Amino acid sequence: MVERRVTVGWAEGLHARPASIFVRAATAAGVPVTIAKAGGNAVNAASMLAVLGLGARGGEEIILATEDHGAEAALDRLAKLVADGLEELPETV
């Protein structure tokens, strides 16, 4: 399993618009990715309801993971998106 630990950069956390941006990026990654709060259960990162259900707040650590060992670059892009709290999807996602 490959994983990245990252601090949520959106001040409001992964709610509404930030969650939508993240879910679109996770779907575009082309590999199955999970997201979890530290110590919590992992959920499908491509599911809007699952991501919203995490209740991840700004400044909290989350864990992005995949079983696909060739997906380091995809996890790096998702981790950067979350850490930077981007308001739009970068063209390179």
List residues with catalytic annotation: 15
Q: Helix or strand or coil: residue 54? A: helix
Indicate the residue type of 59. Answer: G
Q: Which residues of 16-54 are buried (b: 16+ CB within 10 A; e: fewer)?
A: eebbebbbebbeebebebbbbbeeeebbbbbebebbbeb
